[in-house]
Amino acid sequence: MNNKKVLIVEDDNDVRLGYHVLLKASHYDTVLAQDGVSAVSEALNEFS
Please write the tens of the pLDDT for every residue from 1-45. 678 999 999 999 999 999 999 999 999 999 999 999 999 999 999
What per-residue confidence (pLDDT) applies to 1?
A: 60
CA distance 48 to 31: 13
What per-residue confidence (pLDDT) applies to 41?
A: 97
Q: Is the dihedral of CA 37, 40, 44, 45 positive or negative?
A: positive
Q: From the CA atom positions of the chain, what is the Rg in Å?
A: 11
pTM comes to 0.87
Q: Which long-range contacts (CB under 8 A, 24 or more apart) does 21-28 make?
A: 27/1, 27/3, 28/3, 28/4
- Per-residue pLDDT at 47 exceeds 90: no
